[in-house]
Amino acid sequence: MSTIVPLLILLARPSLAEDQTTSATAGVHLRPDTFVVDTRLSQGAVENMTRLYVDADAFVAALKPSAPAPVATGTGARALTGHLHLVNRHMDEAVVKVNGTSVGHVHALTEAAVRGAPIGCYDVSWEYRDDYVATEQVCTVDELRTASPGGPAAAMYLETGRPARTEPPWRYGPADKDRDGVADTDDECPAEAGPAASFGCPDGDADHVPDFRDACPLQAGPAKADPRRSDGCPARVFIAEKEIVITDRIFFQTNKATILPESFPLLDEIAQILIKHDEVLKVEVGGHTDSTGNATKNVKLSQDRAQSVLNYLKNKGIDASRLEAKGFGPNVPIADNATTEGKATNRRVEFKILDQKSKMVEIPPAPKGAEQPTERTLERGTGG
């Protein structure tokens, strides 16, 4: 491991009245396996919190255990005070509460401490930014090492992976070889840095389809396309998360359910999508009309048109059990029926995915000498 130079960040100490934020009084404790550290902010009996909401000494003096300690502490004469060891096991910063009182902020994957608390057990809750709240009972301990900051930095900047020691895995976070913030277990390109939206891979056209499986790496695919199933190329038929999207219209004879021949190529593309993506188990073929004419007749017309599309796809080899025709008539407009353009937009056929299952992302062979990415599973629910 290369020589590690600690970066000490010293902050001027504001008064508690200013911001209720305290500053470093004992310097920065540098973990031996990191070369980037967080600033350690401490105030008296409260250590390693980046923002403090209490007068630390007064808070600790007023603390009362919510439960007795499970065993007697100390040897000989019993100790009257101990230390609360607070561990944020979440990948996000949290507000820690002790017995219902907000004490301060603790970084992700970081230890904090309340020293000198009366012997006993306390109710501790962790409130995260995603509204998740974790609760636990923490009991005082006799010995407590200096709280070590590092948190996400420890996960990001380990030079040789996790050290060979017995500390818990949360101390270091998941392995991330290319240091792009995407854990190796979720990274399709663990040896190449890339954005999380592109599964941790380089993505030159920013369409969220990694370059190594993008058939058109210099042309962005449709913005709505599901990047886990897109080939990354422009298309007029593609799969989004919960629908098969068509960017063209299916045309019918006026006031009839007969499909015009000019729409056959488009329907053929839809059939090919369904053949290729057999993880799509059920699709609702939805027919829609504008508001012109009798609403009841329009519902009947839209149902017949949806059925015509279903029949066409069935004749192209799509199992009828994967399709369901439904006519909505004028009841679900997406544009203003007061205009000619709006009416044309409302006359449409949509393909909503009602049921789908997991599917492995197809990863092409890596170039000779390059590391082969691991196949990833699409986490698909059973509903639309």
Instruction: Give the residue among 184, 186, 166 at the shortest CA–CA distance from 175.
Output: 184
Topology of domain 236-356 in CATH is: 60s Ribosomal Protein L30; Chain: A; (3.30.1330)
Radius of gyration of the chain (CA): 30
pLDDT at 154 over 70: no
pLDDT greater at residue 146 or residue 118: 118
Contact between 113 and 147 under an 8 Å Cβ cutoff? The reply is: yes
pLDDT at 29 over 60: no
- Residue 78: pLDDT band with limits 50, 70, 90: low
Contact between 119 and 80 under an 8 Å Cβ cutoff? The reply is: yes
Contact between 140 and 19 under an 8 Å Cβ cutoff? The reply is: no
Output the CA–CA distances (angstroms, integers) from residue 147 to 49, 93, 119, 185, 273, in the order listed. Answer: 10, 16, 20, 29, 56
Q: What is the DSSP letter of 347?
A: S
* CA pair distance 198, 183, nearest whole angstrom: 13
Mean pLDDT on 265-270: 97
- Residue 145: pLDDT band with limits 50, 70, 90: low
Positive or negative torsion for Cα 308, 312, 313, 319: positive
Exposed / middle / buried, residue 109 (Cβ in 10 Å: 0-12, 13-18, 19+): buried
Contact between 100 and 43 under an 8 Å Cβ cutoff? The reply is: no
Percent of the chain with pLDDT over 70: 71
pLDDT at 295 over 60: yes
Output the CA–CA distances (angstroms, integers) from residue 360 to 92, 243, 249, 363, in the order listed. Answer: 30, 19, 31, 9
- Residue 247: pLDDT band with limits 50, 70, 90: very high
Instruction: Give the residue among 93, 92, 20 at the shortest CA–CA distance from 53.
Output: 20
Q: How many CB atoms neighbour CB 131 within 10 A?
A: 6
Lowest mean pLDDT across 116-120, 161-165, 227-231, 345-349: 161-165
pLDDT of residue 97: 96
Mean pLDDT on 189-198: 91
Mean pLDDT on 368-384: 45
- CB neighbours of 196 closer than 8 A, spacing ≥ 6? 180, 181, 182
pLDDT greater at residue 360 or residue 356: 356
- Per-residue pLDDT tens for 310-319? 999 999 999 9
pLDDT at 285 over 80: yes
pLDDT greater at residue 185 or residue 357: 357
Going by their DSSP bridges, the two strands 323-329 and 280-288 should be labelled as parallel
pLDDT at 57 over 90: no
Mean pLDDT on 124-149: 79
pLDDT at 104 over 80: yes
**What is the overall mean pLDDT for the chain?**
78
pLDDT of residue 158: 36
* CA pair distance 183, 282, nearest whole angstrom: 33
Instruction: Give the residue among 114, 42, 46 at the shortest CA–CA distance from 84.
Output: 114
Most confident of 99-113, 287-301, 352-366: 287-301
* CA pair distance 369, 221, nearest whole angstrom: 28
* CA pair distance 136, 287, nearest whole angstrom: 54
**Domains of the chain by residue range:** 16-154, 236-356
- Residue 2: pLDDT band with limits 50, 70, 90: very low
pLDDT at 89 over 90: no
Opening angle at CA 153, ends 147 and 158, nearest 5: 105
